[in-house]
Structure 1
Amino acid sequence: MAYEKKESYDPDVTRQLVEHYQQTLSLLGEDPEREGLIKTPERMAKAMQYITQGYQLDAKAILESAKFHEDVSEMIVVKDIELYSMCEHHLLPFFGKAHVAYIPNGYITGLSKIARVVDVYAKRLQVQERLTTQILQAIKETLNPLGVAVVVEASHLCMMMRGVQKQNSVTTTSAFWGEFERNETRSEFLKLISSSLH
């Protein structure tokens, strides 16, 4: 299945979202007809469709589109993958980095596809814990590697702007499978993502 990146908006969904955002602005005490807000509901409608486009994307198809047979069994690490997502509890952003590694078992994939898989799951309403395991599962099920490791570090605006208001907190989640469940392999991965090699 071919993978094609595109930015498009469903006219009917956009229209309905615009109506709801106009009502939301009114309920919050704003005038949706004032100059600065006239186009805001449409911008919000398009922005929300863009940042949740992961629902229309297939992570496994992305990996399959650049899956190559290769007799390599050394660890492949793609670190510092920027991610931006939306917390499903408050619809506020969380953002940070993902570090992903796998040990091939006959097949590799294009390096950019690993970053795209992160995007597929980040561009949905999420919790960081689920995001971490979804990335791992997609790679595990598509490439059938010897092992997969995923670490996500993120700052959550729901903690920074409201609630406990802890501006400097960072949440780290991890998921390990296969060879990465062994202490030696996991330690090597964690050392690689912590070091500055470039």
Structure 2
Amino acid sequence: MFAWLRDVLRPAPADPPAKIVCGLGNPGHSYMNTRHNAGYRVVARLAAQAGGKWVQHRRLANLCRVEIDGVRALLVQPLTFMNLSGRAVKPLLRRWHLSPEALLVIHDDLDLPPGSIRLRPGGSSGGHKGVQSIIDHLNSTAFCRLRIGIGRPQDGSVVDYVLMPFTRKERQDMEAVWDYACDAARCWIAEGIEAAMNRFNRRAP
């Protein structure tokens, strides 16, 4: 039986999540501290703050169930590598019969200065291949985004830049950004995209 059909036919758990927060990144120790794994970092911190535990789902994603302000949410780290992120995300929305609007994707963004974040309710991928994969698999651009600014390299390859670890100074500076992004994600879970945009679409302190 096809995997997608098993997901549709299998009874849903009694405590389905109302929201899904997916942090994009690449699995494996060598990618852990890279700029491209900003989404991974945020959901990992969010899980730790909420006291959640990670479990692996079909080798497609790490999942963590949390409850924030009375709202059940599922935190996701795709294990498909960045460019195939949609393969991990689509079955989860289908499993719990959630619309794209119930999804928040957290990812790095070259076009935002380091230390800034930006929420938006949908739109194009902006050239981000992980986001584009989700758009392609969902056939929708209507999912919410939380973009983490990493800036562009002054010289050299963009690919090399995003796959390099943050410098020591950047790691120190990003600590406040991870916390600020977690606050924004929690606001989105509890209050929705408009409230989160109004409160957090500015440079992190």
TM-score by length of 1: 0.29
By percentage of residues, which structure has more strand?
1
- Considering Cα pairs closer than 8 Å and 6+ residues apart, tell me whether 1 or 2 has the greater RCO: 2
TM-score by length of 2: 0.28
Q: Which has the larger radius of gyration?
A: 1
